[in-house]
């Protein structure tokens, strides 16, 4: 191929590349308008649904979360006049802050006032342990620290059922029993039981501590813990009987898929008669009141 022919070939090749590179595909005017209309419609659709979702989330926030005023000891009786018209705002953290700021009550948010430990009148530490949250490790640490710092540790026996929904009279008896255990030195008590208010029984409130865990992981841990050999033997010593074979070979996943009562949480069901049901760790912080059922 001659030099001129080669140059001509390259120029034609470049022209073809430029034609593809800078080509313009004409669209009918109606098509462009249709695409623009679809884009605007989709944008408006997303805006409307996002706004609706945001409103529903705000409604759920108010319904599912108790007012911050309750935690601070402020009830609706404290709100009147102009502030009463701002109920929706008051039920949010920002609204609570603004209300406390406007009324000169920001001191309520100071950590030193929220920490009740500093106001204790009796050196009694109460670990009302939630099941399957790592409490055995904490108990072992408490014993070690007790030897080092000269305080006694007492725990309820394995055979004692979990303290769920006690009557007022039973709570009174337990409160007296716990305080009778303490001698002169500091004292730490450990038991699976719901939170209990000692003040109505004319006892000082102990210093409560507890642990929590991811609720799903905790339920799974409890499911297999009940089927461990050592726990089965200890339960036999208490009840005098073993579970049937199907209990020990049960699989958690299958238990959930078959809607087995052991692996199902039905909202509103009362567990008064089943002290071995530990799906709700919130009970250990709520108490024995019917409100916690």
Q: Pick the catalytic residue: 87, 94, 192, 203?
A: 192
Which SS3 state, helix, strand or coil, does residue 230 take?
helix
Residue 192 falls in the annotated catalytic set: yes
CA–CA gap between residue 41 and residue 48 (Å, rounded): 11
| DSSP-assigned letters across all residues of 139-188 | HHHHHHHHHHHT-EEEE--TTSPPB-S--HHHHHHHHHHHHHH--SS-EE
Nearest CA among 206, 213, 169, 167 for reference residue 189: 206
Angle at 194 between CA 198 and CA 170, to 5 degrees: 60
Instruction: Work out the number of other CB atoms within 10 angstroms of the CB of residue 221.
Output: 17
CA–CA gap between residue 289 and residue 273 (Å, rounded): 15
Nearest CA among 245, 227, 224 for reference residue 235: 227
Nearest CA among 218, 176, 200, 195 for reference residue 126: 195
Which amino acids are annotated catalytic? 192
């Amino acid at each position: 191929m001659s030099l001129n022919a080669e140059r001509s070939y390259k120029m034609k090749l470049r022209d073809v590349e430029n034609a593809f590179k800078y080509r313009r595909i004409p669209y009918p005017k109606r098509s462009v308008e249709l695409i623009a209309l679809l884009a605007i419609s989709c944008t408006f659709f997303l805006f409307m649904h996002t706004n609706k979702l945001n409103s529903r989330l705000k409604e759920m926030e108010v319904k599912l979360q108790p007012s911050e005023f309750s935690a601070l000891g402020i009830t609706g009786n404290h709100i009147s006049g102009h502030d009463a018209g701002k109920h929706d705002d008051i039920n949010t953290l920002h609204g609570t802050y603004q209300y406390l700021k406007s009324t000169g009550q920001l001191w309520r948010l100071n950590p030193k006032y929220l920490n009740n430990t500093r106001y204790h009148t009796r050196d009694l530490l109460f670990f009302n342990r939630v099941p399957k949250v790592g409490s055995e490790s904490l108990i072992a640490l408490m014993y070690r620290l007790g030897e080092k710092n000269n305080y006694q540790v007492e725990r309820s026996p394995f055979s004692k059922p979990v303290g769920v929904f006690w009557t007022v009279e039973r709570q009174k008896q337990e409160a007296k029993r716990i305080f009778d255990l303490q001698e002169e030195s500091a004292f730490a008590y450990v038991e699976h039981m719901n939170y209990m208010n000692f003040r109505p029984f004319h006892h000082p409130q102990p210093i409560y501590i507890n642990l929590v865990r991811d609720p799903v992981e905790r339920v799974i841990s409890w499911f297999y813990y009940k089927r461990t050999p050592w726990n089965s033997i200890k339960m036999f010593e208490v009840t005098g009987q073993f579970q049937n074979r199907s209990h020990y070979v049960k699989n958690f996943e299958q238990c959930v898929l078959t809607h087995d009562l052991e692996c199902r949480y039905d909202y509103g069901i009362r567990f008064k008669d089943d002290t071995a049901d530990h799906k709700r760790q919130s009970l250990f912080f709520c108490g024995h009141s019917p409100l916690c059922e």
